[in-house]
A and B are shown apart, each in its own frame.
Chain A
Amino acid sequence: MNEMVDLIEKEHMRLDLPEIGVGDIVKVYTKIHEGDKERIQMFEGVVIRRRGGNTRATFTIRKVSYGVGIEKTFPVHSPLIDRIDVLSKSKVRRSKLYYLRNLRGKAAKLKEKRV
């Protein structure tokens, strides 16, 4: 990539958010605009994927709600993310945890990484 493009991307990156990795259990607080009102919505789950670099990076969170799997993808550097809480980190041996989609209950649990 051209270094000028790289510089422009770096300008739009958010460095105030915590570093998140695949396997982390996180809570993402996003700002939602409704008319002229703004509220904060929370989404909690396990990070199953990180892709892209610089401003184009996204991560996907998976949770199981009332027996239905839900996945939501966020841009890592979006200004609409209010804050991210990292609840725990897990020991994972894959960069993409797609295999969790075929597992449910206790089998879908990840081993916690103690730091």
Chain B
Amino acid sequence: MGIGLLGKKLGMTQIFIEDGSAIPVTVIKAGPCVVVQKKTVLNDGYDALQLGFDEVQKVKRVNKPITGHFKKANLPPMGFLREFRVDVEDLETTEVGGEFSVDIFEPGQFVDVTGTSKGKGFAGVMKKYHFKGQTATRGTHEFFRHGGSIGQNMTPGRTMKGMKMPGHMGSKKVTVQNLKVIDVRGDTNILLIEGAVPGPTNGFVIIKRAVKKPQ
């Protein structure tokens, strides 16, 4: 629970901290995130705020339902819409059109970052599940990067569900937990977060307070 931010990954770099060591950071443009809709228990069955981020440059490419949704809120269409479950008190203090910016986070705080991972296409088991493959020598042929057995014989007579096999990898929703906020820049809405976050440069991300760290 609690509000988070929507953002865009701008890239990674490294910066030096006080003790002289270089740390890897991801630069994220997070905000301004605008409240597009308020969802209430009465109306929708739950309390949430819908935030929008990244104003659309070419308005004519936005479809009619989305255009209407933003027209209701009297806002320009935005490219990224997500909901955050909030408490009733927070719902009452915010209005449609209100903004959230990076100042809800502070340096030193821990966050969870969600994004869509880079697509890897159809991948084998060595890349996808870190299987070891087969030995390169001792008579192995045409079987170097295969997985091993996928089951038994008559009993059970079928391959178990969920067996790890080759297939599509990436382009999935991935969350990385407990990343440290290094710097918050209110003027440009920039967050510097230690370590890598899922997804490509210019990919959309969701930043929330870390669920596994005490606040």
Contacts and interface: CB of A to CB of B under 8 A. Distances in A.
Contacts of A1: 11
Contact of B16 (A31, A33, A54, A78): A78
B192 interface: yes
A9 interface: yes
B135 interface: no
A2 B16 contact: no
A55 B10 contact: no
A55 B13 contact: yes
Majority secondary structure of chain A interface residues (helix, strand, loop or mixed)? mixed
B190 A55 contact: no
A2 B202 CA distance: 9
Interface string A28-48: 000101000000000000000
B45 interface: no
Interface in B130-169: none
A9 B25 CA distance: 11
Interface residues of B, number: 16
Interface residues of A, number: 17
Nearest to A56: B14
A8 B201 contact: no
A5 interface: yes
B13 A79 contact: no
B11 A5 contact: yes
Nearest to A58: B22
B160 to A, nearest CB: 46
B16 A55 contact: yes
Nearest to A31: B20
Which of B11, B29, B192, B201 has the most A CB atoms < 10 Å from its CB?
B11
Contacts of A9: 13, 15
A53 B119 CA distance: 28
A77 interface: yes
Interface string A12-35: 100000000000000000010100
A33 B188 CA distance: 36
Interface string B1-24: 000000000111111100110100
Given A12-B16, A33-B19, A78-B20, 15 more contacts: A2-B27, A4-B190, A5-B10, A5-B11, A5-B13, A8-B27, A8-B192, A9-B15, A31-B20, A55-B13, A55-B16, A55-B22, A56-B14, A77-B16, A78-B22
Interface of A: 1-2, 4-5, 8-9, 12, 31, 33, 54-56, 75, 77-80
List the 4 shortest-distance A-B pairs measured between CB atoms, nearest first.
A80-B20, A2-B10, A5-B11, A12-B15
